[in-house]
Amino acid sequence: MRSIPFRRVAKDALEDQDAQRLLKILPFAFRALREAALSELPDPKGALKKAAEIRADALEVLPELLETFEKNAKANGTNIHWARDAKEARLIVLGLLGAQNSKTVLKSKSMLTEEIGLREFLGEEGFETLETDLGEFICQVLGLPPFHIVGPAINVPVERVSALFLDMGFIQGPVTDPVALGVAAREFFRRKFSEAKVGITGVNFAVAETGSILGVENEGNIRFLKSVPKVQVSLMGIEKLVPTIEDAFYVLRLLPPSCTGQRMSAYVTIDSGPRRFGEFDGPEELHVVIVDNGRSKIYEDPKTRPALACIRCGACLNVCPVYAQVGGYPYGFAYSGPMGLVWTPMLVGLKAANELLQACSLCGACKEVCPAGIDHPMLILELRKKLARKRLLSLEGIAYGVAGFGLSGGMRENLGLKILRPFYNALGRRFGLPLLAPRRFREAFGAAQNKEKMP
Amino acid sequence: MYQANLFVPCLVDLALPDIGFATLNLLRRLGVEVNIPDTPGCCGQPFLNEGRPKRARALARGVISAVENGKPLVVPSGSCAEMIKFHYPTLFEDEPRMQAKALELAQRTFELSSFLVDELGIEGIGLDIQGKVAYRPSCRALRGLGVRSQPLALLSSSRGQGASELESAEACCGFGGAFSFHLPEVSKAMAHARLEPFLQSGAEVLVVIEPGCMTHLSRALGKHETKQVRHIASVLYEALERRARP
Ligand code: SF4
C-alpha cells in the first residue's frame, strides 16, 4: 500500500468549515453521553477493568477458543470458513454469492468488510452491494470514507442527505429531521430486504462455548439481514472470541455506553446456527468467515497482542485531541483515531503508516477510556520502534543520532553545541521549533558556581 | 537542611534557562539545598517517543548513575518526571540490576509541584500572585503521575483569587515534542483550540508545569497585551521574591 498522506489530508480537514463545525461539538457530545451512561453502573471503573480482563484472558487462549468455536458452531449447523488474508476472505464471499444467482447483496455495517475492501471488490465482480446502515449508505452513495468508526457519515450535513434522498426519490420534499430521513431510507431498504437472497453482516462477539455470534445495532437492519435472506454470511476477525456467553454479555454491557452513550443498543442479535425445523425466520444457510488478515502476526508478538482486545467502540476517538482537530479522513483507512494508529500500521505495513504513526502526541487520554484496556501510547511507542529500525538511514535517523550524541555529554558547554546553535536556530525559526538560548543553563550555572567558589 | 537533586530537562537547559534558574532559586528560597548532578543533557524522552529506546536507555543509564546519592530528584517538567518514574524501569526489563536502580530512583523522583506539596508539605502558602491565574495540567503528569491538585494548591493565593482550571484543560495542547514538528498545522490548531477558553476567561496568566507546553502555547498566543503563558517555577519564584521585598 502507498503511504498514507496524513498531513496533507489533515490540512484539508483543518480548512473544511463543515468538518470543523462538527468537530467542535461531536467528540464532546459523545464524551458527555459516555460518562452519563457509565455513571449509571454501580462501579464504572471496576466494570471497565473487568471487561478489559475478560478481553485479555480471552486473547491468552485465543487458539483454543477458535477451535472450540469452530467445533460448536459446526455442531449448530453453521458453516465455518477460514480466510488467511483479505483476498481469501473476498473470494470466499464471492464463492458463496456465486452459488445464489442473485446480483444484489445487502450488507450491514462492519469495519472488517471495510478493512478488506469487500464492497468495492464485489462491485468489480458485478454485484450490487447495498449498505443498509444509514450512515454507511450515505457514505456509499457519496463515495466517502468513514469519518468516525461508529458514525461513518456523521459529518455529512442533514441538508446534503435531504438533497440526496430527494434525488433518489426516497422523499417528496426537503426534510431536515434526521429521524424522518432515517424512516424514509428504511422504507426503501425494507423493499430491498424482501428481494435479497444474501445478507452480509459483521460480528461484535463470538462465543466459543455456544458457537454463537452476536451483533449490536440501533437501526434494526442487521435483524432483517439475519432473518429474511436465505443465506447469511457473517465476517469476523479472529480476535472476536470470548469463552462464554456471560463474558460476551459483560463486555457487551460496556459497549453501547462507550460507543454512543446508550445504556444498551436498540437491538442485540445472537445467532447460534441457521434456521431450525419449525422456526419462522432465520437463514437457511449460515456462513461465518473467520478472517486473519495480519492478526496472527499481531498476536505472535506479546507487545502488540493487546491491540487485538479492541471492541471497536470508538471511545478513544472521542477523547483524542488529534482526532478532534481533523476527524477521520486523514487516517486513510477503515480505522481512525487512536485505535486506527494502533491497528492500521500493522495491517497496511509500517512504512505506509510512517506519517500516520506520528499523528499522536502521546497524551494518554485514549488509554483512560478504553473498555478493552488497551494502552495505546505504549503500543504506538512499540510500533514507532519497529518503524525506526526500518529507517535507520533516514534523515531523521541521522538527526536523532546527532542529537543523542550531543545530549549525552554532561555539564560542559561543548564545542559541538556552539557550532550547531546558529544553524539549529535558523532552522528552528523556519519550522517554529523552540529556539536555543545564547547560553545553556548548565554552562551559566557552572560559571555562577565557579564565581561563588572563588575567594 | 533539606537536600535535593535538580534535574534540568534538555528543553530548559538549552532553550529556557530562565526556568532552570527560577526552579533553582525557588527551591533555595524554600530552604532546600540544591545539588545539580552531572547528568546527561536529556532524560531520553524524545528518543523513546520516536521509537529509539536504545538511545533513551543510554541517557537513562547516565541519569541514574549521576544521582545515586539517595536524595530526591526534582524535575520541573511533568513529562520528564514521568519518563524517569515510569519509563526508566521498563527500559531495563532485561537488566535486573539496572532495573532495580531505576525503580529506586523512581521512588524519589518528583515533578516540581508535587515535590513541593507532597514531599515538602507546602500547601496554600498564601502567595500573592498578581493577576488572575488559570492552570493547565500536563498530560503526562496528570495521567501518569496523578499530578493535578498540587499546582492548584500552590497557586491559591492569600487574597482569595485562587487558580482555576479552564474548560477542556485536560486536552493536549499539541506540543508532544516531535509531534509538533511532524504535524505543525494540526499541532498549532490544537494550541489555538486550547487557548480559546483562556482568552475568554478573565485570567491573565496561564500556568503550566511543562516547559514544552509553555513554549508551544506562548508561540500560539503570540504577543498579547494582557495575557501570557508561564511555567509554574517562574510564577512561584517571582511571587516569593515580591513577598520578600515588598
Ligand atoms: S481501542 Fe479501546 S476505546 Fe478504542 S475503539 Fe477499541 S475498544 Fe474502543
Residues B128 and B239 in one domain: yes
pLDDT digits (tens, 9 = 90+) for A214-246: 999 888 888 888 888 899 999 999 999 999 999
Instruction: Residue A242: name the closest of A382, A57, A116 by CA.
Output: A57
- The pLDDT assigned to A428 comes to 77
Rounded Cα distance, A286 and A253, in Å: 26
Query: What percent of chain A lies above the pLDDT cut of 90?
Result: 56
Which domain-ending residue is among B84, B118, B152?
B118
Q: Which residue lies with its CA nearest to atom 6 of ligand 1?
A: A310
- The pLDDT assigned to B111 comes to 96
Cβ distance B11 to B46 under 8 Å?
no
**CB neighbour class for B79 (10 Å; exposed up to 12, middle 13-18, buried from 19):** buried
**ipTM score above 0.95:** no
Q: Which residues pair with A289 in a beta bridge?
A: A81, A235
Instruction: Residue B27: name the closest of B59, B2, B54, B55 by CA.
Output: B2
**CB neighbour class for B246 (10 Å; exposed up to 12, middle 13-18, buried from 19):** exposed
Residues B101 and B194 in one domain: no
Which domain-ending residue is among B89, B118, B147?
B118
Instruction: Residue B80: name the closest of B178, B172, B152, B10 by CA.
Output: B10
Which domain-ending residue is among B70, B92, B118?
B118
Give the domain range for residue B212.
Answer: 123-244
Count the alpha carbons within 13 Å of A455 in the hemisphere toward its beta carbon: 0
Residues B130 and B238 in one domain: yes
Nearest CA distance, A258 vs chain B (angstrom): 19
Rounded Cα distance, A4 and A10, in Å: 11
Q: Which residues pair with A268 in a beta bridge?
A: A216
Return the C-alpha cell found at B70.
539517595
pLDDT digits (tens, 9 = 90+) for B197-216: 999 888 889 999 999 999 99
Give the distance between the most distant pair of CA atoms in chain A.
104
Ligand 1 contact, A254 CB (< 6 A): no
> What's the predicted TM-score (pTM) here?
0.92
Instruction: Residue B49: name the closest of B180, B173, B176 by CA.
Output: B176
Q: Identify the residue whose cell numbers are 493577576.
A: B131
Number of the ligand 1 atom closest to the C-alpha atom of A369? 3
* Overall domain count for chain B: 2
Return per-residue pLDDT of chain A as tens, 455 residues.
Answer: 789 999 999 999 999 998 899 998 888 889 899 999 999 999 999 999 999 999 999 999 999 999 999 999 999 999 999 999 999 999 999 999 988 878 889 999 999 999 999 999 999 999 988 888 888 889 888 888 889 888 888 888 888 888 989 888 888 888 888 888 888 888 888 888 777 889 999 999 999 999 999 999 888 888 888 888 899 999 999 999 999 999 999 999 999 999 988 888 888 999 999 999 888 888 999 999 999 999 999 999 999 999 999 999 999 999 999 999 999 999 999 999 999 999 999 999 999 999 999 999 999 999 999 999 999 999 999 999 999 888 766 777 777 777 776 776 654 556 667 777 887 888 777 777 778 888 888 888 877 776 665 44
Q: Identify the residue whose cell numbers are 442485540.
A: A268
Give me the CATH number covering residue B222.
3.40.50
A389 Cβ contact partners less than 8 Å away, ≥ 6 residues apart: B51
Alpha helices in B108-183 (DSSP H): 112-114, 139-140, 149-155, 179-182
Cβ distance A350 to A386 under 8 Å?
yes
- The pLDDT assigned to A455 comes to 42
Instruction: Residue B237: name the closest of B150, B116, B147, B72 by CA.
Output: B116
**Gyration radius from chain A CA atoms:** 26
Rounded Cα distance, A340 and B234, in Å: 40
- CA B166 vs. chain centroid, Å, equals 18
Report residues of chain B scoring pLDDT below 50: none
Cβ neighbours around A424 below 10 Å, total: 18
Sign of the torsion formed by the C-alpha atoms of B117, B123, B124 and B128 = negative
Residues B9 and B112 in one domain: yes
Q: Which of A400, A437, A440 sits opposite B47 (nearest CB)?
A: A400
- CA B175 vs. chain centroid, Å, equals 14
pLDDT digits (tens, 9 = 90+) for A307-346: 999 999 999 999 999 999 999 999 999 999 999 999 999 9
Alpha helices in A230-328 (DSSP H): 245-259, 295-300, 315-319, 323-326
- The pLDDT assigned to A454 comes to 45
The answer for A 311-340 residues in CB contact with B (under 8 A) is 321-322, 324-326
- The pLDDT assigned to A266 comes to 87
Residues B139 and B110 in one domain: no
Sheet with A128-131: strands ordered across: A79-83, A285-291, A231-237, A198-201, A104-107, A128-131
**Angle (CA) B22 B24 B30, round 5°:** 100
Residues B154 and B179 in one domain: yes
- The pLDDT assigned to A258 comes to 92
Q: Identify the residue whose cell numbers are 556552539.
A: A418
For residue B48, list chain A residues with Cβ-Cβ distance below 8 A.
381
What one-character DSSP code corresponds to residue A435?
A: P
Domain chopping of chain A, boundaries: 399-453
Nearest CA distance, B118 vs chain A (angstrom): 24
For residue A360, list chain B residues with Cβ-Cβ distance below 8 A.
176, 179
A375 Cβ contact partners less than 8 Å away, ≥ 6 residues apart: A306, A367
Mutate to test the interface with A, among B21, B42, B50, B140 (most CBs of A within 10 A): B50
Cβ distance B76 to B208 under 8 Å?
no
Rounded Cα distance, A346 and A298, in Å: 7
Residues B57 and B102 in one domain: yes
